[in-house]
Structures are given as C-alpha cells and as structure tokens.
Structure 1
C-alpha cells in the first residue's frame, strides 16, 4: 500500500521526519529486509523507499520474500517502478546470498499465526532459529554495519503484572507446552544474536515488539484485534474465546517502524529494546469493550464463548506492563494511542 490513502501518507511523512531516526546514515546504503511482505516488514520497506524517493537518498532495499508475484502485487504502484527495490526469492532459512553489498539488515521473517504455534510447532521453531542463523551468517559474510532482529514481548513468559517488564525481567516458560514453540524459539533466536555479536563481532540488536497493528490489515484477517474491529463495524457482538484477563501494551505500525529504525541505527550492539506504547496498557477484555462501544455505527456487546479456545493457540494469561525507558533514552517515543490505532487501521483498510 503506497500513500494513495491519507492515513498511509501521514504515516510515511511522520516516519520520514522522525527526529530520533538518523536518516543520513542510510544515504547511499543497502538495507536487506526479511519478512518484507509482513505487516511490519512491508511498512518498513515502504518507509525506506518513500524516504529514498522523496529525499534523493539513494537507499536500496533488498526484500527477502517467498512469493515474488505476491510481493510485486503488494508493492505495485506508479511509484514502485522508480523505487530502488529488489526482491530476493527464497525461504528465510536458505535464500540466496545477494551479490551486492548489504549494509544493514532488518530480520522480521517469522511465523505469526497463533494457531500455527500449536498446529505447526516444528515449522515455527525452524523458521525462527534457522532463519536467524541464516541472516546472521549473511551479515557476518557481508561485514554488515548493523542488524536488528524483530522479537516479541512473548519472550517474557507469563508474568503476573507485579512489576514493570524491563529487558531483563523474565518469567518461566514450559518447553513441554507445544505453544511454547513460538516464545522459546524467539528466545533462542535472540541468544543467537547475542552469540554472534560476542563471538563473531556481528553488530546485532533485538527489538521486542508489543502486539502491533495499523493500516494494511484486511478485515477478513483472523487476528484477534481485526476480529474485534470487524464485529464492531458489522454491528455484531464481539466474542472472546477466553475471559480476556491478559494485560499488555500495543503499538501502532508507524511507531514500530521508527522504533526498529532507531534501534537499527542507534542501538547498542548485543542489547535488546522493548518497543510498546505504555499508555495503551489494558486487558484484552478492556480493549474489546473500547472497540465495542466506540468503533462501529452502534455499540455492540462483548461476550465470552471459550468452547474451542484450546485449538486457537492463545497465550496463557499474562500481565506485561512493558518498560520502554531503554528505547526512549535513544529519543524514541510512540505517537498513536489505542483508539486511534483502530480508527486509522479501519480508515485505510
């Protein structure tokens, strides 16, 4: 999605004007992005290309994708023909090494479906661990200037909310629970980043993202926050498949992009950074109530039907009040709150 919609145009302009992002250091450089057709990867790729085109910055993007035809459709627009974008076809675990230099890497390729965490746990683990090793080996071979791995707040396990979650606050994970395929493999991928930084000098950093959404989601997407929006817009009750007691922060897509770029270009090698909007902290139930009362043409009800919750791959109940002070110390701050996240997602959908 290019800036045909005013919401997307506003987001691109704000990202490209973000004072915390040292854009000058990207001029004339090549950035490799894995997971480039995913939500964050595509938003990041568009921002890099938009900045390059509007600032004559000569930034080139290598987008690692599994399906080139799908990627060409996703990035199609009159502007795309002029954009310095090259697709690298292949699985993240085995994609071919580009011939050109690679100055920076953003590694965002990941299994993201909660249902897949319980129905395809082996693939979930292999994608995270094998893909991260492939990316780090590429960075090592190319002498890359910086690498940012996109991780998740799920690495913290299931804390009870009694303390703020800094980058060193971890709760237990049970590796024998099949859904742990996702957070455990994310932890292992982070450990690989730290290991490559220490042993081989690969300049890797980690961004632990809160649940992120914004423009770019189709309203038939299966993710919970999209289901909430779809129900409200259609005047149907929002149905929770758990009691909705988990509490966490959320993050708007454009804010996630500025967070990733800030860590990529200004973060400390071998460090992890929490990225979330602390003002959005609430329970799943409270978020559903907000959407039910304010998003649609008329208010709807929120009710619980937990009949098939076990097959959906939902995380256990957790309370994750993220502390983002380490990232804020680099000058970053989020700009869009929870209600506006929904309104902007729906407006541009």
Structure 2
C-alpha cells in the first residue's frame, strides 16, 4: 500500500519519492496529481516543451512532469521556455537547476530555436492579466497567433509532436445567460472592434490554427479551455478577483466588491485543472475540453464569502463599493464551463473549492513564513 501523509486541510496525499519544489503545498498537490489513475506511461522518455513555463498553470505542468520522474523514473526531459531567465529562476527556485530541466530563453512572438526535436508541446505562453489585454493588445494577440504558428511548425518539424494548447473560457464570448453551463460547442458573440478582444480573438484564432495543422499535417492536437483558475503561483496583483480576494485575506482586510457580485464564473483549483488537462492529453479523443469544476460555478459574492470563511479567525466580512465604473469589467455575466466531457474520461476534481482556497492561502503563508526565517 502507498504511504500517505496528512494535509493541513484534512486530505491525504501519496507521499512523493522526492520533493520537487520544496513547497509543502505544491509538492502535496503534485503528489495528488500523479496519483490519479492515468496512463502516465505514455509520457515515459518524452521530450516536452512547456512554453511560459514560469507561469502559474504551465509551471504546474512542469512540476507534474518532474514528479513523474521522481515517482516513476519516467525519463522525461522538460524544455522550459521563458522570456526572462533570471525571473524564471527566481520563480521556479531549485527546479531550474535540475538535470531533467533545460531552461530555454525565447519569446513565442518570435522564432524559437531548439537544439533537439520534441514529442509534446504544452503551450501556455500568453499574456493572462486582464489589464494587459487592453494596454498591450498587439502583444497579446501576437503571442497567441504568431506563437501558435511557430510552435505548430516545430511539431511538424519534430515528426508530428502532439500540440497541447492552454486556451480560455473567453473563446465562448458573450452569451445570453440562462444560468446553464457552457459546453464545448456553444459560442457567443465578441465585439471584435474592442482592443480587449485581442485575447479572446487571439485564443479563438489559435484554436483554428491548431485544428488546421491537424487537418493538413496530421499534428495531434488537444485544446484545454481553462475557466477561472486559482492556486499557488497566482500573483497578488494579477487583477482578477481571485487574486484580489487572496490579497485581502492575507492582509486581514475586509473584501470590497466593485459590483453587485452577481456575475458567476467557474472557479477551479490549480491542481484539479492540471490533472484535468493531463486527463485530456492522455485519455481524450475529442479536440477541445473545458478544464473546470462545475461545483465551483458560483457568484463573485459567494467566492468572496468563501475566501473570508477560509480564515474565520480573522473575522473578515464582504463589503460593497459605490460609484464603480462597470465599463472596466468583463460584461459577460455567466461564464460557467460544463465539465461533462472531461468527467466522461473518468476525471473528477480531487480538491474542490473550500480546500483549494485553503491551500492557496496556505501557499502564500508558507512563503511569508519562509521569508521571515
């Protein structure tokens, strides 16, 4: 029987053979991901390129691959593509110095030079902060469109490497919200003359580019459409509500909402999302999968309340601001993703909302305690 170690949130995790990152929260998450009943052996001996490797979601993909090396001696080599080597080393810590990791400096908006072929590309490089979509729309759309072309050319040159794209719930656009969850074939409208559409249209175009390469060059393609993800690695100044709420709770501040809080989104813990992505890669036969947890389909106000309840000893409350400029915010009122296709592969979230919020806060608290030591 596998050894288990207790988690602070009451769950258990299969004990890793070695510590991948040195963070108890992240290493526990990675142990749970690779403990999922997936055909991990399909990745044995693979050379995997992860773009945007220092980002929140791509870094968890990187850690998962390294965890497989620790637990299964999988023999995976990870090429971690980053734009800033110093920043990547700071964010990735000891992971950057491992023998099974090669840091590659490069920008997907330009030409990528590798000294070897690859078996799998996990494309996560894209400006994700909402503020960047309006402030740097050219950079945003170029990273998604030009970057996807270049990486798919690399897949062709490598003899048909699998291409995995981290897409977004924003590809669904604005739909008439009836409270239902959005399936993979339900699309709404996008105001293409709004510069903020650089992200939405960039992701939409990237998906079409990917399936075009599949049709013309037989490149295997998996598209993961991520909902609203939170967890370790999320910057407190990210600009999305899950980051703002995390910052408020850590600082002991009441949470102030800049709207009525009625907009609903699918909030999914990072480890659940990444295990879902690997389920789609290793088991999926469809092209696109919503990467989300339907049980996290809640309003912003409910999310705020859940954050305050995650640290009840701080006695925090949820407040509402007045005189807010609502034009600054995404107009889509209902953006919940239906996870039925993903669950059809046998996937299910193993952390969930309440424990996910606790782990998110615990990771930041862990880092703060380490900085004081």
Distance between the aligned counterparts of 2:98 and 2:263, measured in 1? 45
Give structure 2 stretches of 5+ with no counterpart.
1-18, 365-373
Change in Cα spacing, 1:280 to 1:195, as seen in structure 2 (3 Å) is: same
- The one-character-per-residue Cα deviations of 1:290-339 (angstroms, maximum 9, x if unpaired) are 2234435112232134535545xx31132123211111122211122222
Change in Cα spacing, 1:184 to 1:28, as seen in structure 2 (3 Å) is: same
Q: Which residue of 2 aligns with 1:10?
A: 28
Matched, 1:68 2:92: no
Q: Which residue of 1 aligns with 2:3?
A: none
Change in Cα spacing, 1:82 to 1:113, as seen in structure 2 (3 Å) is: closer
Q: Which residue of 1 aligns with 2:171?
A: 155
Q: Quick check: 2:214–2:221 contact (8 Å CA) kept in 1?
A: yes
Distance between the aligned counterparts of 1:324 and 1:91, measured in 2? 32
Distance between the aligned counterparts of 1:336 and 1:302, measured in 2? 28
- The one-character-per-residue Cα deviations of 1:148-202 (angstroms, maximum 9, x if unpaired) are 1010111111221354311001111111122212111111111111111111111
Q: Which residue of 2 aligns with 1:107?
A: 123
Distance between the aligned counterparts of 2:323 and 2:75, measured in 1? 52
Change in Cα spacing, 1:194 to 1:67, as seen in structure 2 (3 Å) is: same
Q: Quick check: 1:102–1:144 contact (8 Å CA) kept in 2?
A: no
Question: Higher relative contact order by CA 8 Å / sep ≥ 6: 1 or 2?
Answer: 1
Task: Map 1:124-135 to 2 at 5 A.
Answer: 124-135=140-151
- Higher deviation after alignment, 316-325 or 99-108: 316-325
Q: Which residue of 2 aligns with 1:197?
A: 214
User: Out of 326, 331, 340, which is 1:316 matched to?
Assistant: 331
Deviation at 1:222, TM superposition (A): 3.6
Deviation at 1:237, TM superposition (A): 2.5
Q: Quick check: 2:182–2:337 contact (8 Å CA) kept in 1?
A: yes
State TM-score, norm by structure 1: 0.92
Q: Which residue of 1 aligns with 2:106?
A: 90
**Number of equivalences:** 344
State the SS of the aligned residue for 2:199.
helix
Q: Which residue of 2 aligns with 1:338?
A: 353
Give structure 1 stretches of 5+ with no counterpart.
none
Distance between the aligned counterparts of 2:131 and 2:238, measured in 1? 13
Q: Which residue of 2 aligns with 1:303?
A: 320
User: Out of 349, 352, 362, which is 1:347 matched to?
Assistant: 362
User: Out of 239, 244, 268, which is 2:256 matched to?
Assistant: 239
Distance between the aligned counterparts of 1:48 and 1:144, measured in 2? 20
Q: Quick check: 1:117–1:182 contact (8 Å CA) kept in 2?
A: yes
Distance between the aligned counterparts of 2:49 and 2:35, measured in 1? 22
- Higher deviation after alignment, 44-53 or 230-239: 230-239
Distance between the aligned counterparts of 2:44 and 2:72, measured in 1? 9
User: Out of 136, 154, 165, which is 1:138 matched to?
Assistant: 154
- Higher deviation after alignment, 173-182 or 104-113: 173-182
Q: Which residue of 2 aligns with 1:48?
A: 65
State the SS of the aligned residue for 1:178.
coil
Q: Quick check: 2:170–2:200 contact (8 Å CA) kept in 1?
A: yes
Deviation at 1:4, TM superposition (A): 2.6
Deviation at 1:24, TM superposition (A): 0.4
Change in Cα spacing, 1:218 to 1:149, as seen in structure 2 (3 Å) is: closer
Distance between the aligned counterparts of 2:160 and 2:268, measured in 1? 28
Distance between the aligned counterparts of 1:116 and 1:242, measured in 2? 21
Superposition CA RMSD, Å: 2.0
